[in-house]
Amino acid sequence: MIVKDEFLSRLRKIFGLNLYEVKVWTALLSRGVSTAGELSDISDVPRSRTYDILESLEKKGFVVMKLGKPIKFIALKPTEVVERVKRNVIRDAQTKSKRLDELKSSDVLKELSTLHSTGIKYIEPTDLSGAIRGRHNIYNHLDMMIRNAKNNITIVTSAEGLNRKFESLKGSMEKAKKRGISIKIAAPITPKNYKIAKDFNKIAEIRNGKSRARFVLADGKEMMFMILDDEDVHPNYDVGIWINSPFFANALDQMFNSNWTSMKPLGKVKIR
């Protein structure tokens, strides 16, 4: 049996299997019913490891052991495997979520909070910065900045970035507005994002910015700016620089506000 490495790699990512597991599973799928020895020969997995791999696959719901001698294994239908894996993922996520909720009231979180609040005093302001790789991680950090904001949020983004921020940050921005946080957004308004801009305008003040710069300011104290053009970079390789520097962030905030008045409000933007 020959299965392309690319296909095996996709299966590993989708189902969370290691290389030996995915080789043995696909080998069993091609046979339907087989012994461990046969599967070892087909999959090119060492015979000494095959039984362990099959036991692991059985626990995860991919195969069933057939009673009798010699011991044989039966491959479940892929559709059934998908449902079983889905149920396992949901159950594991619920368990982890419950564990994290319990952590909120535990002594562990109190100790971590104490460590952070006392340890922060010994960190120089110039050390309060970091590079964040991957758009998913960047948006997680932006979400945290918005949730922690006390007074105002300033967002400068690209036309495409406006759509992404509506999808990823709308919830936290709505909550920020309810807390009385002032939110300003500057982005190029185009026919492709005009509807999103109108929806965004219900929770933030949006104006038509001409720059493709991408950065977010929170309270004039901390900021995140992206160093690459989002048209040229894959989301996995996007990079954001986070800086907690009131001096730098406030200076940039003042520069933004000096240009804010020259930007057209959404209601005066003509879309062709």
In angstroms, the CA 229 to CA 213 distance is: 8
The pLDDT-based confidence of 196 (bands split at 50, 70, 90) is very high
Amino acid identity at 25: W
Q: Give the residue-averaged pLDDT of 188-215.
A: 91
Mean pLDDT of the chain: 88
What structural domains and CATH numbers belong to the chain?
5-80 (1.10.10.10), 126-267 (3.30.870.10)
Task: Give the count of alpha carbons within 13 A of 196, CB side only.
Answer: 21
Residue 125 has pLDDT above 70, yes or no: no
- HSE-CB of 92 using CA atoms within 13 angstroms: 7
171 has a pLDDT exceeding 60: yes
The three-state DSSP-derived secondary structure of the chain is CCCCHHHHHHHHHHHCCCHHHHHHHHHHHHHCEEEHHHHHHHHCCCHHHHHHHHHHHHHCCCEEEECCCCCEEEECCHHHHHHHHHHHHHHHHHHHHHHHHHHCCCHHHHHHHHHHHHHHHHCCHHHCEEEEECHHHHHHHHHHHHHHCCCEEEEECCHHHHHHHHHHHHHHHHHHHHCCCEEEEEECCCCCCHHHHHHHCCCCEEEECCCCCCEEEECCCEEEEECCCCCCCCHHHCEEEEEECHHHHHHHHHHHHHHHCCCEEHHHCCCC
Instruction: State the pLDDT at residue 121.
Output: 54
> Is the peptide bond between 265 and the residue preceding it cis, with omega within 30 degrees of 0?
no
Give the chain's length. Answer: 272
Report pLDDT for 71.
86
pLDDT at position 127, please?
58
**Model confidence, pTM:** 0.58
Per cent of the chain over pLDDT 70 is 95
